[in-house]
Every structure is written in structure tokens, then in C-alpha cells.
Amino acid sequence: MQSMTTRLCRVLTQVILFLIIASGNVQATPANPTNAGAARALLAQWQPLTPTNAGPGARFDFALHYNPATDKLYLFGGRDNSQVYNDVWALDLADLANLTWQPVAANAPVKPAARHSVAMVVDDAGTFMYVATGQLSGGATKDDIWRLDLTTETWEELSATAGPAPIQRYALAAGLVGNDLVLSHGFGSGVGRHNDTWRFDTATNRWQVVVASATSNPVGRCLLDGVAVGNTLVMHGGCSNGDCTLDDTWLLDVDSGVWTEVVGDTKPAGRRLQGLAYAAEQDLVVLFGGQGDSGTLNDLWGFTMSTQRWQQLASTAAPDAPTARHSHKMIGIPATANWEAGVLVYGGRSGNSALNDLWFLRLTPTQPHFLPVVLSAR
């Protein structure tokens, strides 16, 4: 009887404590603040999306960018097994039931030469797209920069007045930082692998050196991916002269020009041609796929920016998940009236086949997350 009474008292105490917390009379704080930033286990749930039309079709090595102001996903260029493209497509995400790809600037009289593996961003207002560098169908690499007015659907080359520019290159890391295009590393035909970083100031339409080439920078590489998180460019893996499946992760503070290497025992296996995207709600850089020493990959990893730690993510399996692939693109999208926050993945290459599938990645905790509370009077 006493044991039953004791258990009943404990239950009542927990109920009362819950009601007190809900009423706002106590503060809930982590009992051990040093563990407050520990990575939470996440479940990755894939969902295939089916636009109403073919749109860009199957391709790889294209560029992808999401613009929150217009709620549109933009795609430029890339290639399939027979040709290289210079077209632009937009996918309006406002209507989930009728996702439709729309061509942009299809009839523009002047446009960049067809290319793949470029640096591309859309400015915050959704007014301009910027495309720089890339590789042409014949193998030549470019050092030019173009701007597309998304309202008038007209292209303009800015190279002549942009000042000293990055040496020709393709297959690099790039992102939008402070409304500017930032690019780093890559490979130039007849030049080799780079390890410098540049910023195109969209207010002045001129290039600026962020980090000049130096042996203290991350080793020169190509066939990598990068993603901008605030003023930080996150870069992972790629192909260097001595190792074509690098496994290192680097963070560049674009404002200060300082590189920092992430150190940790848990990390993705070395690879090239992987996809990276930033899921802001989880503060997570998500990595999927690529080519490793064992072949084409379909594993999924998350890098928490606040703790600078990698964790492998549990994922649904094929056919309820994308097949192993490389040379695809990923982009994080925020929660909107129409969407949950998550990551979109499009296209890529599997074996000898170019892909045209579109997937949404939802990230949720695998179990409820409870924090111990410390009572304090208000």
C-alpha cells in the first residue's frame, strides 16, 4: 500500500510540475548547459515530387538556387549524355498540387555560351541571376560573368567592367553571401586546380579577392560542392592532385578571409561530386551522395553548424528514397505557407544515366526531446 501511495505521489508531482511549467511560473533551463548544443538524432524522410511537365529534363552538373522572395527554384545549364545547356528554368513552389517548370529568357537574343559546373546565385530580391565561370562542351573553361534580369528576361555580360577576375575554372564551390556571389577552388583547363576565393559585389558589379592563392589554404581541388551559411562558405571533399576522394570539411569566414578546418572522428567517407544544402531550421548542412572509392553513394549526413559536428542521418530506403547518384544539386528551403522546411534534390547521374527526378527531404527528430528543468521563482 505504501509503495502504491509513493508511486501515486510521484505521478501527481509530475502532473503538478507540468501544469506549473505550462502556466509560466517556472523557467525551464538545461540542467547541464554544456550539453545544450549536442546534436539531436534526426530521421530523414524522402518524398518524391512530380511536376506537371518535364521542364529541364534529365541532366547533371547544373546549378540550382532557391529565392525566398519569389518562392521559386531556379536552374541554369548543365549537361546530359549528349549535349551541354545554357537554358534557365523556374519552378514556382507556391502551388504544391501543380508544380510546373517555366522556361525563363528562352528567346533572349544574347545569352551565355552553353556550359556546366558553374557558379550561380539569385539575389535576395529575386531580381537578378548571376552566372560565372563553367566548362563548355569542347572542354574549355571560362572566366566570364553574366547577369540575367528576371523581370525583362534579358542577359548582360558584365566581364568587361568587372575588373580583375578569377582565373578560368569549373566544378567549384559557390554561394550567396551578403547578396554577393562567392566562389572558391575549381579547375581550369591548362591551368590546374585552384585554392583562391573571390567575391562578386553585386552593388558595384566588380570582383574582389577574398583569399588569394596560398599554400596555407585548403589544397586546390575540383568536383566538390559548397554552401553558404550566413557569411560562411562551407566546403567538403572533392578531387585534388593526389586524392580524388577528399574527406575534409572547411569553413571560410568570407568577411575575414579566414579558413578553419573541421576536426572530428565522425565524418562522411571521402568523395567528389556530392551535393550540399543548408537546412536552416535544424542549423544543418546536409550532404547526400557523390562518388567515393567504393562507387556511387546514397548515404546521408548532417553537419550541425553550431557544434561543428557530423552525424549520419537515418533515412528511408529505396524505392522511397533517391537512388545513389552524383553530380546532382540540393537546396534548402524554409517553411512557408505551402511548404515545410526541408531540402530539395534534383537530377544528377547514376551509372551512365542522367536523372530528372525531384525529391523533398523532411528532417524530424527521431524521438521527443525533453530537457530537465530547474525551478526558479519569478
109 and 9 co-located in one domain: no
- According to DSSP, the residues that pair with 345 across neighbouring strands are 330, 359
Residue 310 included in any domain? yes
172, part of any domain: yes
Residues 3 and 93 in one domain: no
Same domain, 73 and 118: yes
CA distance 310 to 251: 14
Residue 57 lies in a domain: yes
130 lies in the same domain as 270:
yes
Decide: 221 and 228 in contact? Cβ < 8 Å: no
Check pLDDT > 60 for residue 220: yes
Q: Largest alpha-carbon pair distance within the chain? A: 89
Alpha-carbon separation of residue 249 from 3, 59, 267 (angstroms): 55, 27, 9
Domain that holds residue 179: 40-365
More confident residue, 10 or 270: 270
- Tell me the average pLDDT of the chain: 88
Same domain, residue pair 2 and 95? no
Q: How many CB atoms lie within 10 A of CB 242?
A: 7
Whether residue 273 has pLDDT greater than 90? yes
Q: Are residues 359 and 238 both part of a single domain?
A: yes
Span 223-231, average pLDDT: 98
Q: Kindly state whether residue 373 falls inside one of the protein's structural domains.
A: no
Residue 35 domain flag: no
Residue 12 located in a structural domain: yes
Query: 145 and 9 in one domain?
Result: no
Distances (CA, A) of 338 to 45, 50, 112, 344: 18, 16, 34, 14
Distances (CA, A) of 98 to 54, 67, 176, 322: 13, 19, 28, 22
360 lies in some domain: yes
Give the separation between CA 89 and CA 98, rounded to whole angstroms.
16
Cell of 157: 555580360
339 and 197, same structural domain?
Answer: yes
**One domain, residues 212 and 138:** yes
- Residue showing cell 588569394: 212
Q: Is residue 135 part of a domain?
A: yes
Report the CATH number that the domain containing residue 112 is assigned in CATH. Answer: 2.120.10.80
Per DSSP, what are the bridge partners of residue 146? 131, 157
> Could you read off the pLDDT of 50-86 as tens digits, one per residue?
999 999 999 999 999 999 999 999 999 999 999 999 9
Taking only the tens place, the pLDDT of each residue in 92-150 is 999 888 999 999 999 999 999 999 999 999 999 999 999 999 999 999 999 999 999 99
Domain count, the chain: 2
* pLDDT category of residue 365 using cuts at 50, 70 and 90: confident
Which residues, at least 6 apart from 167, have a Cβ–Cβ distance to it below 8 Å?
A: 143, 188, 191, 194, 196
Condensed to tens digits (0 to 9), the pLDDT of residues 152-168 reads: 999 999 999 999 999 99
Q: Which residues pair with 22 in a beta bridge?
A: none
Distance between CA 328 and CA 241 in Å, rounded? 23
User: Are residue 207 and residue 58 in the same domain, yes or no?
Assistant: yes
The pLDDT, as a whole number, for residue 9 is 42
Same domain, 12 and 128: no
Query: For 323-364, how does the pLDDT look when each residue is reduced to its tens digit (9 = 90+)?
Result: 999 999 999 999 988 888 999 999 999 999 999 999 999 998
**Which pLDDT score, from 0 to 100, does residue 41 have?**
76
Same domain, 357 and 332: yes
CA-angle at 100, arms to 94 and 105, nearest 5° = 100
Q: Is the bond preceding 319 in cis, omega lying within 30 degrees of 0?
A: yes
